[in-house]
Structure 1
Amino acid sequence: MIADALKMAVGTLTTVRVPTPGVIDRRVAGGAMVLGPLAVVPLAAVAAVIVFLGELIGLPAFASAALALGAVALGSRGLHLDGLADTADGLGASYDRARALEVMRRGDSGPTGIATLVLVLLVQAGALAGAISAGHGIAAAAVAVIAGRGVLSLCCARGVPSARPEGLGATVAGSVPVWAAAVVFAVLAGAAALVLPWWQGLIAVALGYLAASALLARCVQRLGGVTGDVLGGCVEVAVAGALLASSF
């Protein structure tokens, strides 16, 4: 089960080619959400290396930050960015649940989605640039990428419903035991406290989780639960929150 869960996590969250899981059921899907932070360690390493090289050759901090975030987006097929834009479009489209979900299902992005995407990316890049200038950009980049995927276990914890009867959201919604989601948070907070100033590491993970929780609560209220797009949106706002806490 663990092997299949890791394959699903890597195959879903990154562009790394892995064998197809032998079985995909709710147990495997829940395991994949728990193992999300482990699956994106290569992406975190790439982001950290880009920040390091940028510092080494004297690139402006904002340029290094943009390149690092761009590499992560490329390494995840832009999946979460697309989810963020679609979620913003859905929430901004109508107070009618069915209408909002239909807007999210489309492949295009409207003005609300594009504006949200640009603003969140600006926050992420600006915050990472601040962390670089403060001297801990390498650790901040890695922590944000990993913690951002850590919130997937929170968003798929028992009790969180699916907004649709089909799709990724229906497969993973409510599939993670609450204790497992709590363990993921504790491990990430502890790890962040080791690579950043301890208080800043704790705040970074906590703020990332708080940002994701706020979006999750809004989506459950408005849409009736989570979808794959909602999960992607939660990842991106969590990254922004973690980077903001690391920017000083």
Structure 2
Amino acid sequence: MIADALKMAVGTLTTVRVPAPGVIDRRVAGGAMVLGPLAVVPLAAVASLIVFLGELIGLPAFASAALALGAVALGSRGLHLDGLADTADGLGASYDRARALEVMRRGDSGPTGIATLVLALLVQVGALAGAISAGHGIAAAAVAVVAGRGVLSLCCARGVPSARPEGLGATVAGSVPVWAAALVFAVLAGAAALVLPWWQGLAAVALGYLAASALLARCVQRLGGVTGDVLGGCVEVSVAGILLASSF
């Protein structure tokens, strides 16, 4: 089960080619959401390496941050960024739940989605540039990528419904035991406290989870639950929150 869960996590969250899972059921799906942070360790390593090389050759902090986050987006097929844009469009489209879900399903980005995406990327890049200038950009990049995917277990914890009867959201919604989601948070917060100043590491992960929780609560209220787009949106706002707390 663990092997299948890791294959699903890597295949879903990254462009790394892995064999298809032997079986995909709710147990495997829940395991994949728990193992999300582990699956993106290669992306975190690439982002940190770009920041390191940027510092080595004297690139402006903003340029290094943009390249690092661009590499992460490329390595994840822009999946979460697309989810953020679609979620913003759905939430901004109509108070009618069915209408909002239909807008999200179409996949094309409207003005609300585009504006949200641009603002989120500006916050992420600017905050990572701040962390680079403060001297801990390498660690901040790694924590943001890894802990940002940790919120997937929160969004798929027991009790969180699916907004649709089909799709990725229906497969993973409510598939993670609450204790497992709490354990992922504790491990990530502890790890962040080791690689960043301890208080900043704890604050970064906490702020990332808080940002994701706020979006999750809004989507459950408006849409009736989570979709694959909502999961991606929660990842991106979490990354923004983590980087903001790491930027000084």
- Deviations 1:194-227 (CA, angstroms, capped at 9, x unpaired): 0000000000000000000000000000000000
Shift of 1:108: 0.7
CA distance in 2, matches of 1:168, 1:7: 15
**Which TM-score applies when normalising by structure 1?**
1.00
- Deviations 1:108-147 (CA, angstroms, capped at 9, x unpaired): 1000000000000000000000000000000000000001
Aligned partner of residue 109 in structure 1, secondary structure: coil
Identity of aligned residues (%): 96
- Deviations 1:2-30 (CA, angstroms, capped at 9, x unpaired): 00000000000000000000000000000
RMSD: 0.2
The corresponding residue for 1:111 is 111
Q: May I ask how many residue pairs the two structures share in their alignment? A: 248
CA distance in 2, matches of 1:95, 1:33: 29
The corresponding residue for 2:142 is 142
Shift of 1:107: 2.2
The runs of 4+ residues in structure 1 deviating greater than 3 Å are: none
Aligned partner of residue 179 in structure 1, secondary structure: helix
- Deviations 1:23-68 (CA, angstroms, capped at 9, x unpaired): 0000000000000000000000000000000000000000000000
CA distance in 1, matches of 2:111, 2:20: 37
Structure 2: segments with no counterpart, 5+ residues: none
CA distance in 1, matches of 2:69, 2:237: 13
Shift of 1:76: 0.1
CA distance in 1, matches of 2:58, 2:51: 10
CA distance in 2, matches of 1:48, 1:244: 17
Aligned partner of residue 238 in structure 1, secondary structure: helix
Aligned partner of residue 3 in structure 1, secondary structure: helix
CA distance in 2, matches of 1:157, 1:115: 30
The corresponding residue for 2:4 is 4
Aligned partner of residue 166 in structure 2, secondary structure: coil
**Which TM-score applies when normalising by structure 2?**
1.00
CA distance in 2, matches of 1:231, 1:107: 15
CA distance in 2, matches of 1:131, 1:157: 31
Shift of 1:72: 0.1
